[in-house]
Copies of this chain bind each other. A is one copy, B any other.
Amino acid sequence: MTGTLAQHLAEIAAEMAARSERGRVADYIPELAAVDPDQFGISVCLADGTQLSAGDSATAFSIQSISKVFGLAIALGRLGDQLWTRVRREPSGLAFNSILQLENEGGIPRNPFVNAGAIVTTDAALGKRPPREYLAELLGFVRAAAGADDIHIDRKVARSETETGHRNFAMAHFLKAQGNLTNPPDHVLGAYFHQCAIAMTVEQLARAGRFLAGIQHLIAPERVRRINALMLTCGHYDGSGEFAFRVGLPGKSGVGGGILAIAPGRASVAVWSPGLNAQGNSRLGTEALEMLARRTGWSIFG
């Protein structure tokens, strides 16, 4: 198995290296726009403890919205099912940064992965603590999960988002006006922007995702299943149905070009390629996962 898988990964990396159509790199913050689009990395952690990688697997990138998965795990750890009074568990059918449903649905975001829901989740995870305490807990969790002490927050990226993230400020103030934010918008967004600015490699990310594959035990199995369900239905925003249809694995993407995908009981997979498709998800990353799922038969749908 391991031998064949290594070959799959090598072939996939080779095919991706040859691609000319790579999608557009996110350009809304200078730090992300400056990333070389010609990179591609993939890494897989198997249930037997093996890890296999290919491509630029040791280059750190900004995980951005993939961090929402770790933030959700922490929020659930602190609040349990209480969290679900403030955020729902349904696909939104809209873009990740849409404000429409907030107005029509009384400030209760559809799910913890759209930006509004992630801001509420961060506010919940924050509690009454100063943002840096929450960030320390989060970083500790991610480092422990990945077994890597050098995972860090890229402060330049965080600062850049603070200066240009007007749409997220709009969202946070809207949530505050609707009574679904306990902390001041500035505090919550401070924590949120720093959380999104975590930098790591696909090797580290694949290891950090093992607890969702049931390979590493960090949180209750019931909770793992539910996070996976949310990743499947909401992890790629208005491209979630398409991702489920093509790849067939729970996954969470970030505008930095990373995707974490989970084959329950079998593997944790991380891919990274900076160019994005129309829904803001890694273009080659999605294709690579589709190829991998087809070759391995890891789809959860049969």
Contact = CB atoms under 8 A, between A and B. Distances in A.
Interface of A: 88-94, 98-101, 103-104, 110-111, 166-167, 169-174, 176-177, 185, 212-214, 221, 224-226, 228-230, 232-234, 238-242, 244-245, 248, 250, 262, 264-265, 299-302
> Number of copies of this chain in the oligomer?
4
A216 to B, nearest CB: 12
Contacts of A233: 91, 232-233, 240-241, 244-245
Contact of A301 (B92, B172, B226, B241): B226
B225 A299 contact: yes
Nearest to A230: B245
Given A89-B241, A93-B90, A170 B166 contact: no
Contact of A93 (B110, B167, B299): B110
Nearest to A221: B302
Contacts of A167: 173-174, 177
A213 B264 CA distance: 18
Given A100-B103, A225-B248, 14 more contacts: A90-B93, A90-B241, A93-B93, A166-B173, A169-B170, A213-B302, A224-B302, A225-B301, A228-B302, A232-B233, A233-B233, A233-B244, A264-B302, A300-B301
A230 B248 CA distance: 10
Contact of A103 (B98, B111, B232): B98
Nearest to A212: B302
A81 to B, nearest CB: 11
A278 to B, nearest CB: 12
Given A214-B302, A302-B265, A174 B185 contact: no
A265 B111 CA distance: 30
Contacts of A226: 245, 301
A228 B94 contact: no
19 contacts: A90-B239, A90-B240, A90-B241, A91-B93, A93-B101, A167-B174, A169-B169, A170-B174, A170-B177, A212-B302, A221-B302, A224-B302, A225-B248, A225-B299, A226-B245, A229-B301, A230-B245, A262-B302, A300-B300
B300 A242 contact: no
Contacts of A173: 166-167, 169-170, 173
A185 B186 CA distance: 14
Give the one of A228, A241, A248 with max B CB within 10 A.
A241
Contacts of A98: 103
Contacts of A212: 302
